[in-house]
Amino acid sequence: MSSTKYILGIFDDPDELMHGIDKLQKNSIPIYDVYTPMPIHGIDAKLGIKDSRLGYAAFMFGCMGGTTIFTLVYYFLAHDWPMNIGGKNFFPIPDFIPVTFEWTVLFASYGMAFTFFFATHLFPGRAPRVMDLRATNDKFVIAIDAKGDVPHEDINTILKEAGAVEVKHNDRKYVSYE
């Protein structure tokens, strides 16, 4: 039993990386994850990652923000202390469009951003779970769980054939904990 935990196929070029993903999938080798220095469109579809639902979160937070400030303003100006300003209406709704809009945007932005951080486990101080330090620089990395049934040699060959410039067998899951 080898001590390898993850096999990494390291590519120089995003197109070859896509090619590598296709080849691995054709050979029914499950891909653990792919790490790239920039967003590469199309990988998410190949790996079966569903579309983000963050838009719904943003919408709901926006509704919450708008409702919150509008309710507060109603409480302040119409209920708690109605102010007589030249005999005008106590609750002139057009005057409250600016603040309602601002809080809608504020809540939607922050709600969505924090949902994103929460759902993808991003927060200050989190130990970065990096498998290869060059994946944020100029290398495109496919990580394959070494526990599968496919012999490691075959995975090496497939990755090399697809254009990987390097194949690494990592004994530790993440290098960045060192």
Partner 1 sequence: MASHSESIIREPLITGKNITYGQITDDILRPVENMPGKAWWIGFSVASLGALLWVVSISYTFWFGIGSWGLNKTVGWAWDITGFVWWVGIGHAGTLISAVLLLFRQNWRNSINRSAEAMTIFAVICAATYIGAHMGRPWMALYSLPLPNQYGSLWVNFNSPLIWDVFAISTYFSVSLVFWYTGLLPDMASIRDRATGLRRRIYSVASFGWTGSVKTWQRFETVSLILAGLSTPLVLSVHTIVSMDFATSLEPGWHTTIFPPYFVAGAIFSGFAMVQTLLLVTRKVLGLENYITMFHIESMNKIILVTGSVVGVAYITEFFIAYYSGGEYEQYTFLNRFIGPYWWAACMMYGCNVLMTQMMWSKKVRTNIPISWVLSIIVNIGMWFERFVIIVTSLHRDYLPSSWAMFYPTWVDVGVFVGSIGIFFTMFLLFIRVMPSVAIAEVKLLLKSASEQAKKKQIAEGHLEPAHVEFYKDNLIKFDSIDHSEYEKA
User: Contact residues for partner 1 (CB under 8 A)?
Assistant: 14-15, 18, 33-44, 47, 49, 52, 54-55, 58, 62, 72-73, 76-77, 80-81, 83, 85, 92, 95-96, 98-99, 101-103, 105-106, 108-110, 112-113, 116-117, 119-131, 133-138, 176
Q: Do residues 9 and 167 lie in contact, with contact meaning Cβ atoms separated by under 8 Å?
A: yes
Q: Count Cβ atoms within 10 A of the Cβ of residue 142 and give its class: 0-12 exposed, 13-18 middle, 19 or more buried.
A: buried
Q: Which is nearer to partner 1, 98 or 151 (CB)?
A: 98
Q: Do residues 78 and 91 lie in contact, with contact meaning Cβ atoms separated by under 8 Å?
A: yes
Minimum distance of partner 1 from residue 163's CB (angstroms): 13
Minimum distance of partner 1 from residue 1's CB (angstroms): 27
Q: Do residues 163 and 20 lie in contact, with contact meaning Cβ atoms separated by under 8 Å?
A: yes
Q: Which is nearer to partner 1, 77 or 150 (CB)?
A: 77
Q: Which is nearer to partner 1, 71 or 157 (CB)?
A: 71
Residue 95: CB atoms within 10 A of its CB come to 12
Could you say which DSSP state residue 172 is in? S
Q: Which is nearer to partner 1, 94 or 151 (CB)?
A: 94
